[in-house]
């Protein structure tokens, strides 16, 4: 914490990334960006309080697949100007076009919305009714377009989140993608290459990893363990342990020579789960029998992934493991690496958040996804990613199951228990996507600060006064 006499206290929020980026119209490759986006950005739909969302009211007509909405006058740009219906509508239309690897729906007639000058063109699926009201016509090959769209606009499905850009202002009458302006939960400013939030009379810097240490807030345990000061411990922080569940699993690369046999995949998945089982009493770890727990739709009581065998495949000399970001290399993965080295097996880690140097030639990929209530939306969306399709190429039953789940929107309300049950059985039979463990998302706030970082079921991260 740094004292700033002009603007109150200045605190540092650990983003876990080296560079911040609020431009919405690119594919989401670095999952860690979601942490600060979900702290700062207002969703289109706020399910807890409509006044906190960009849209005040909306209606979806399932017969015509049209979405009609009215913008909230409290949803303003940083100079206090309310967002226009044109900006809100175009943010959705273009945002969906840049989520092709994880999204199954689009706005009609937007095939060229990714081209230069997109903001000046007319699209058949976009209708501006008034300065505060618009209508969109949606298309898609999925069964439940309404549910999929609501999940996206409410930030329920994380890899699909979208937000608008300012298309005109007094200072920038022509759209400029380099001009920073967003609809945010807290006032935000960009100065000297840094972003600052104004939070309840305090300033919070969205700090990158260039700061190295002295962070006051962390939004997950992985970052806390890796980036905290050497003299810091949980005793120095207020830890919010609300029940916000995530799943940590491995997708085997079916094209890998190392894991061409089901026996080799079973051995590796069992080692991961055995380590997780041994650490669950001292770590934030929950081990369940498969991907789907007993109180969730699709649960299969006959499925139980092994968690007691510890034997590396005999032929294994090196294993390449892709991780979503550096701090995902937690105690379980570090223990796996140490145990592998005892058997003279080299483990090479590939950081998928490093877009310039990421190598797709790996043996398995670690994936982290949120469990929304009793739903695992990643099961429905993963098939939209070309890279995941390539990995699963030689797991035909898994691919077929995922395609059916996507087509039928099986992870969108109302859930399709039969298809999810089938997915659970097939994953286990082919040993294609292996569940390792679940964990709760914890936030960390340095003690004795005037504000604390919280988790909400829908809002994700937010600050409140420390009472």
**Is 383:298 a contact under the CB 8 Å cutoff?**
no
Q: Rounded distance, CA 12 to CA 197, Å?
A: 10
Answer whether residue 6 shows pLDDT above 60: no
pLDDT category, 7, cuts 50, 70, 90? Answer: low
**Is 236:446 a contact under the CB 8 Å cutoff?**
yes
pLDDT category, 248, cuts 50, 70, 90? Answer: very high
Question: Within its chain, how far is the Cα of 4 from the centroid?
Answer: 33
Strand runs labelled E in 101-244: 105-107, 126-130, 133-140, 188-191, 194-199, 202-207, 217-218, 237-240
The structure tokens listed for 422 are 């089938």
What is the pLDDT at residue 320?
97
Q: Rounded distance, CA 106 to CA 67, Å?
A: 12
Indicate the average pLDDT of the chain.
Answer: 92
The structure tokens listed for 451 are 């504000």
Q: Rounded distance, CA 322 to CA 301, Å?
A: 31
Span 205-221, average pLDDT = 90
CB atoms within 10 A of CB 201: 11
Span 361-365, average pLDDT = 95
For 265-276, the pLDDT digits (tens) are: 999 999 999 999
What is the pLDDT at residue 385?
81
Answer whether residue 2 shows pLDDT above 60: no
Owner of token pair 């000058």: 117
pLDDT category, 3, cuts 50, 70, 90? Answer: low
Report which of 363, 333, 332 is spatially closest to residue 251, judged by C-alpha positions: 363
Give residues with Cβ within 8 angstroms of 424, minimum separation 6. Answer: 290, 291, 292, 298, 299, 300, 303
pTM: 0.90
Percent residues over pLDDT 70 in the chain:
96
For 215-243, the pLDDT digits (tens) are: 999 999 999 999 999 899 999 999 998 76
The domain limits of the chain are 245-440
CA distances from 322 to 197, 213, 242, 355, 364 (A): 33, 26, 29, 12, 6
Q: C-alpha angle 324/330/332, rounded to 5°?
A: 115
> What CATH architecture is 245-440?
Roll (3.10)
Owner of token pair 């950005």: 41
Answer whether residue 26 shows pLDDT above 60: yes
């Amino acid at each position: 914490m740094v004292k700033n006499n002009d603007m109150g206290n200045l605190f540092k929020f650990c983003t876990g990334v080296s560079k911040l980026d609020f431009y919405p119209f690119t594919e989401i490759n670095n999952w860690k960006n979601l942490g600060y986006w979900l702290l700062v950005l207002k969703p289109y739909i706020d399910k807890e309080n409509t006044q906190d969302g960009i849209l005040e009211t909306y209606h979806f007509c399932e017969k015509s697949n049209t979405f009609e909405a009215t913008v909230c006058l409290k949803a303003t740009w940083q100079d206090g100007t309310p967002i226009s219906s044109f900006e809100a509508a175009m943010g959705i239309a273009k945002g969906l076009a840049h989520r092709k690897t994880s999204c199954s729906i689009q706005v009609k007639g937007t095939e060229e919305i990714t081209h230069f000058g997109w903001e000046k063109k007319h699209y058949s699926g976009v209708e501006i009714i008034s300065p505060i009201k618009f209508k969109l016509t949606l298309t898609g090959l999925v069964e439940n377009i309404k549910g999929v769209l609501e999940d996206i606009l409410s930030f329920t499905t994380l890899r699909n989140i979208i937000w608008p850009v300012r298309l005109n202002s007094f200072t920038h009458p022509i759209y400029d993608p380099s001009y920073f302006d967003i609809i945010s939960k807290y006032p935000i400013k960009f100065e000297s290459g840094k972003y600052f939030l104004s939070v309840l009379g305090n300033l919070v810097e969205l700090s990158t990893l260039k700061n190295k240490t002295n962070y006051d807030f962390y939004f997950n345990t992985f970052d806390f363990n890796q980036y905290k000061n050497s003299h810091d411990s949980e005793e120095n922080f207020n830890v919010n342990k609300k029940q916000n569940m995530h799943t940590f699993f491995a997708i085997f690369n079916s094209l890998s020579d190392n894991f061409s046999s089901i026996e080799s995949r079973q051995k590796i998945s069992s080692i991961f789960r055995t380590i997780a089982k041994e650490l669950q009493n001292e770590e934030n770890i929950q081990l369940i029998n498969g991907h789907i727990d007993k109180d969730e739709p699709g649960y299969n009581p006959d499925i139980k992934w092994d968690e007691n065998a510890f034997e590396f495949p005999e032929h294994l000399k090196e294993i390449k493991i892709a991780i979503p970001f550096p701090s995902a290399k937690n105690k379980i993965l570090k223990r796996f690496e140490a145990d592998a080295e005892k058997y003279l097996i080299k483990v090479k880690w590939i950081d998928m958040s490093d877009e310039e140097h990421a190598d797709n030639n790996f043996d398995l990929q670690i994936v982290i996804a949120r469990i929304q209530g009793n739903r695992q939306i990643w099961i429905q969306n993963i098939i939209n990613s070309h890279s995941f399709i390539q990995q699963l190429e030689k797991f035909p039953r898994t691919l077929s199951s995922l395609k059916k789940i996507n087509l039928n929107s099986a992870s969108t309300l109302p859930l399709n228990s039969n298809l999810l049950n089938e997915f659970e059985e097939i994953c286990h039979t082919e040993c294609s996507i292996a569940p390792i463990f679940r964990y709760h998302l914890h936030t960390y706030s340095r003690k004795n600060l005037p504000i604390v970082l919280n988790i909400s079921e829908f809002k994700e991260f937010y600050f409140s006064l420390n009472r």
